[in-house]
Amino acid sequence: EAQVTQNPRYLITVTGKKLTVTCSQNMNHEYMSWYRQDPGLGLRQIYYSMNVEVTDKGDVPEGYKVSRKEKRNFPLILESPSPNQTSLYFCASSLSAGGVYEQYFGPGTRLTVT
């Protein structure tokens, strides 16, 4: 089954404790990205990757890191989480980034930072 998986689905942590949210897709997609979704603000892009080893900042990159060492995986790293990073996070992938392609979203990771 074609899908994007994320882990963990739910995470409660404390300020400053480094964490990683994993993302994997099995569709051989070139393009992957991370979004956060907050009430009233919608989906905001954090980082994206056009291909392996190619990543770039989205609209809200502060406090986040990513890496793309393999085509299928695109982990999101919070080196020192803060309460304002409490949010619902989605990983997404698409065949390419030409404006035409459907994005496939993961199931989401609900993060709470206390």
Segment near another protein (CB under 8 A), from 17-25, 37-45, 49-57, 68-76? 37-45
Task: Please name the amino acid found at residue 41.
Answer: L
Which two three-digit tokens encode residue 8?
Answer: 């963990």
Hey, which residues between 1 and 30 contact another protein (CB under 8 A)?
Answer: 4
Q: Is 97 an interacting residue with respect to another protein (CB under 8 A)? A: yes
Binding residue (CB under 8 A) for another protein from 40, 62, 69, 114: 40
How far apart are the C-alpha atoms of 69 and 62, rounded to whole Å?
Answer: 21
Sign of the CA dihedral running 2, 55, 107, 5: positive
Q: Is 94 an interacting residue with respect to another protein (CB under 8 A)? A: yes
Specify the DSSP class assigned to residue 103. P
Q: Say if CB 64 and CB 47 are below 8 A apart.
A: yes
Site string for another protein, 51-90 (x = CB under 8 A): ---------------------------------------x
